[in-house]
Amino acid sequence: CTDVLEAEFAALLTGDANPMNAKHRLATEIVAIYHGQTDADAASTEWKRIHSQGQFPADAPEVAVPENPVGIIVLLELCGVGASNGERKRLIEGGGVSINGAKIEDARATVTVADGDELKAGKKNYARLRV
């Protein structure tokens, strides 16, 4: 169902290739089938930028912060992270929250945010903060 050559596919299965590269190649092929090669290339580039180079996603949602300084738990709630304050607290104490790359490890901390600050919480939650 993809345009991957049989020899290339066999090499992917035998383990001669890096598994990450194999998964990435097949994912790009599948996206190309459903959305076209242009969108597949764009998604591939964005994925590499975020996951390989550690950069911030271009399409991260913007979140308005109504007051400054703000408690980190409240900030995470504004960003839609976690289902409860307990979950947010565990995420913070586990080292999973950072603003502009600086980890926040105290759940009682208050932070002063500036326009354009970048919040990362966990592996998949990103937000660009607006004051």
Residue 112 maps to which CATH number?
Answer: 3.10.290.10
- The pLDDT value recorded for residue 37 is 92
Number of domains comprising the chain:
2
Same-domain status, 123 and 99: yes
Strand partners, 128: 62, 118
pTM for this structure?
A: 0.74
Q: For residue 80, is it within any domain? A: yes
Domain range holding 18?
Answer: 6-52
Q: For residue 124, is it within any domain? A: yes
Q: For residue 76, is it within any domain? A: yes
Same-domain status, 97 and 67: yes
Give the pLDDT means over successive 10-residue stretches in the chain (131 positions). 62 68 83 91 87 82 92 95 94 95 94 94 92 89
Same-domain status, 47 and 82: no
The shares of helix, strand and coil residues in the chain, as percent rounded to the nearest 5, are 45, 15, 40
